[in-house]
Structure 1
């Protein structure tokens, strides 16, 4: 629940930032000076791009949460029983060992969104966030294709 609250706070802060930045962009455009108009348009583009990126991240989180609930209802969520260091981080060797199992499952059934979801959690446990997000995107795409 903390991640969801953090996302909401970030979205609210972004909206405030976008409104203030948009207002400044409109003021620059309103001056009539050609350089200020170009700068104002550029300033208006920043919140638009930011809004798109925030929307994409919120969609990714919502879709991931939907898949997690569905997998949990079916009893297919991976159990978080990996040993942890005193700092709370997962032991890297144990995460790597667990990862091998989930990678083999994904290779055996590449069209099954469930194995991609589990592979994503294994990548995350191993500390590879980039591949974890890519695997989760694959799980989301496979889930969308599932009848």
Structure 2
């Protein structure tokens, strides 16, 4: 079984488990509402909101993942995915800090030359991730998705 197949299988199992959990939680919310007391109705509504919020979070996360995978595939198809295979790594498997910083500096220069390109934004997001700055990586990846979608519109 390939790594991608394992990842997709794990995600599918987790989504199914969350789905079962949300159904059970929703059932508890309905039971509370059926009690007919003000406290029961209030708690029931609150409990019913939890699965709805959970579904929204799961859906948003999956959509973002699919969009990021789409960008990664386009970058690979264009031969522009960041090549980090030869970079030195720590025993944990993470890229050594100096090498990640050097990669980031190189990719940032590419980005500064073309800040409105989905590809340079994608590569910068990946470089931020390798450098350990996950919050900036997410922000820039969102921008890369927006730019790529605008390009196709």
Shorter-chain TM-score bucket reads over 0.9
Partner residue in 1 for 2:89: 84
The answer to whether structure 1 residue 105 and structure 2 residue 110 are counterparts is: yes
Partner Cα distance (1:12, 1:127) in 2:
31
- Unmatched tracts of structure 2, length 5 or more: none
Partner Cα distance (2:58, 2:116) in 1:
29
Partner Cα distance (2:16, 2:78) in 1:
34
Partner residue in 1 for 2:35: 31
Q: Select 2:23's aligned residue among 8, 15, 19.
A: 19
Question: What is the TM-score of this pair, normalised by structure 1?
Answer: 0.94
Question: What is the TM-score of this pair, normalised by structure 2?
Answer: 0.91
Count of aligned pairs between the two proteins: 147
Partner Cα distance (1:92, 1:106) in 2:
20
Structure 1 residue 5: Cα displacement? 3.0
Q: Which runs of 4+ in 1 moved over 6 A?
A: none
- Unmatched tracts of structure 1, length 5 or more: none
Structure 1 window deviating more from structure 2 (84-93 vs 18-27): it is 84-93
Alignment of 1:116-131 (within 5 A): 116-131=121-136
**What's the C-alpha RMSD, in Å, of the aligned pairs?**
1.2
Partner Cα distance (1:19, 1:70) in 2:
37
Partner residue in 1 for 2:99: 94
